[in-house]
């Protein structure tokens, strides 16, 4: 047969027709179009299940146009948007529809949506499930925006009960609000507002305490739980231990926890503020061990951008806490992973296959016949340092500007069409579409 496209010259050729992978192997038949991938690595397009695109309502922070362009530049072909930073947040059918409308004609890659789990908002969960959310996100501490309040344990428990009945997971930002508030209030009262003070106000124990509560509620309700942006080896261990005793629990970490530490945070300043904060170099090494050993299931960017004015200043308790990182995830992981025993095969699982499977995203995350032809072509070996002009974000700042990388995405294909890099048509319409989770038969 004649294929629409064959990507040739990497470890195996990949044939594509009608946007779907039709064959993987050597010496595949003729094609109407060929891509020469000799000297490059061909990986499944990334599936980033933790991004904040902020449209509608806060498109001045980030939007589907610029955010998904940055994701595509980083080899990501499907992103799952968090519910909180849009106005309105994604808490019911109307806000879900508003989010999809904001993405239509602007999303350059495929996307899915998390719904929100907040006090007083549990009534919207059924409608969100009907619309096609992948699950429900809850904050166990203040989220940073007034429109999305934290879920107390009672709310979280009741939300987990409903999510379990709907067959959808709950994702939690796990930090103990009492401990972090006490330490933060004390630091501010004493005039201690540096990055070191911010880090000290969000200790590992705050993360562990909240994870224990979330796991206990998940076990009690039978809910599927996903703990986002785990920053400590101990947090990953708690999730792995619960999984071993039968709890349906997974966790993710982020590239910034694996490649930056608290010394980097003190040096970089506001651009490196996040919650939980960056940890010690020893904690970082232990976190890599959990990635290598499987206690950490997947890696997501937690791309949470803000305008320059929100990421400036010396008061680390006042500046916005979020890392711009959607574009750099794959290059960072391919650069640093091999030194920690994490090679390209495991990386493809962490960044593509496992997140797609965890949220039941059909066709995503694999290079195999029948899967969507979502591919990232990466050149590995030559060192480079991204500059501000290289970022495709709405606001071109990142703690990874100037960071030495040895991997670079040169081409990204979405369902067989090049959407970024060599061969992309800059005038082509955005072709991203909503992806809903596959329905599992009872």
Same domain, 117 and 31: no
Per-residue pLDDT, 1: 83
Neighbours of 120 (CB within 10 A): 9
Query: For residue 25, what are the domain limits?
Result: 1-39
Mapped onto helix, strand or coil, the DSSP state of residue 379 is strand
| C-alpha–C-alpha distance, residues 49 and 112, integer Å | 8
Residue at 212 is within a domain: yes
Whether 411 is covered by a domain: the verdict is: yes
Residue 281 placed within a domain: yes
Give 217-230 pLDDT, tens digit per residue.
999 999 999 999 99
- Cα dihedral 399, 400, 403, 408 in deg (nearest 10): 180
Tokens of residue 414, six digits:
């979405």
Q: Give the tens place of pLDDT for each residue, 15-70.
A: 999 999 999 999 898 999 999 999 999 999 999 999 999 999 999 999 999 999 99
Same domain, 88 and 116: yes
Same domain, 215 and 166: yes
DSSP 306-341: --GGGG-SS-TTTS---B--TTTHHHHHHHHSGGGT
pLDDT computed for residue 53 by the predictor: 97
Mean pLDDT, the chain, rounded, equals 97
Say if residue 237 is in the same domain as residue 375. yes
State how far the alpha carbon of 280 is from the alpha carbons of 84, 274, 293, in Å. Answer: 29, 14, 20
| Cα 15 from Cα 25, distance rounded (Å) | 9
Is 262 among the domain residues?
A: yes
- Beta sheet of 115-116, edge-to-edge order: 115-116, 136-139, 170-173, 225-227, 249-253, 298-299
The pLDDT of residue 439 = 84
Q: Given a cut of 60, is residue 442 above it in pLDDT?
A: no
∠ CA 217-275-128, nearest 5°, is: 50
Residues 15 and 77 in one domain: no
Read off the pLDDT of residues 403-437 as tens digits, 9 standing for 90 and up.
999 999 999 999 999 999 999 998 999 999 999 99
Q: Mind giving me the DSSP string for 410-428?
A: EEEEETTEEEEETT--TTS
Return the CATH number at 3: 2.30.40.10
User: Is the domain of 348 the same as that of 401?
Assistant: yes
Residues 120 and 23 in one domain: no
Classify residue 68: in a domain, yes or no. yes
Give the number of domains in the chain.
2
CB 101 within 8 A of CB 404: no
pTM of the model: 0.97
CA distance 363 to 85: 28
pLDDT tens-digit readout, 274-323: 999 999 999 999 999 999 999 999 999 999 999 999 999 999 999 999 99
Is the domain of 94 the same as that of 212?
yes
Q: Is 298 part of any domain? A: yes
Same domain, 33 and 58: no
CA distance 209 to 60: 35
pLDDT at 320: 95
175 plus 30 within the same structural domain: no
CATH number at residue 240: 3.20.20.140
Query: Quick check: is 73 in a domain?
Result: yes
Tell me, yes or no, whether 432 lies in a domain: no
Choose among 80, 218, 236: nearest CA to 140. 218
- Judgement on whether residues 34 and 63 belong to the same structural domain of the protein: no
Shared domain for 53 and 7, answered yes or no, is no
């Amino acid at each position: 047969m004649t294929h629409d496209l064959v990507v040739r010259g990497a470890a195996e050729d990949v044939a594509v027709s009608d946007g779907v992978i039709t064959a993987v192997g050597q010496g595949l038949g003729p094609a109407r179009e060929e891509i020469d991938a000799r000297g490059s690595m061909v990986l499944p397009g990334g599936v980033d299940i933790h991004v904040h695109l902020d449209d509608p309502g806060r498109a001045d922070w980030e939007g589907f146009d610029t955010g998904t362009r940055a994701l595509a530049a980083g080899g990501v072909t499907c992103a799952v948007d968090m519910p909180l930073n849009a106005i309105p947040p994604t808490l019911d059918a109307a806000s879900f529809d508003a989010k999809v409308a904001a993405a239509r004609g602007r999303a350059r890659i495929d996307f899915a949506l998390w719904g929100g789990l907040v006090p007083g908002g549990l009534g919207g969960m059924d409608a969100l499930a009907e619309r096609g959310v992948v699950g429900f996100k809850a904050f166990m501490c203040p989220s940073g925006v007034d429109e999305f309040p934290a879920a107390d344990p009672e709310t979280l428990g009741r939300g987990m009960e409903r999510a379990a009945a709907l067959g959808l997971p709950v994702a939690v930002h796990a930090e103990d609000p009492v401990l972090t508030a006490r330490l933060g209030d004390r630091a501010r009262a004493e005039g201690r507002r540096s990055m070191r003070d911010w880090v000290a106000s969000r200790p590992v124990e705050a993360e562990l305490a909240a994870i224990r509560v979330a796991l206990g509620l998940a076990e009690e309700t039978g809910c599927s739980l996903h703990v986002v942006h785990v920053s400590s080896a101990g947090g990953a261990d708690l999730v792995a231990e619960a999984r071993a005793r039968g709890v349906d629990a997974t966790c993710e970490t982020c590239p910034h926890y694996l490649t930056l530490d608290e010394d980097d945070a003190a040096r970089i300043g506001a651009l490196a503020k996040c919650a939980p904060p960056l940890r010690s170099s020893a904690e970082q090494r232990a976190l890599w061990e959990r990635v290598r050993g499987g206690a950490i299931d997947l890696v997501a960017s937690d791309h949470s951008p803000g305008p320059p004015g929100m990421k400036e200043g010396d008061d680390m308790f006042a500046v916005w806490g979020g890392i711009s990182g959607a574009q750099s995830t794959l290059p960072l992981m391919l650069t640093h992973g091999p030194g920690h025993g994490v090679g390209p095969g495991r990386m493809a699982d962490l960044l593509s296959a496992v997140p797609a499977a965890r949220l039941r995203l059909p066709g995503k995350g694999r290079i195999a016949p029948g899967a969507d032809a979502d591919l990232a072509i990466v050149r590995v070996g030559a060192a480079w340092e991204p500059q501000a002009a290289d970022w495709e974000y709405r606001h071109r700042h990142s703690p990874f500007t100037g960071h030495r990388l040895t991997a670079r995405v040169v081409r990204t294909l979405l369902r067989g069409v090049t959407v970024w890099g060599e061969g992309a048509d800059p005038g082509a319409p955005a072709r991203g579409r909503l992806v809903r989770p596959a329905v599992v038969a009872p």
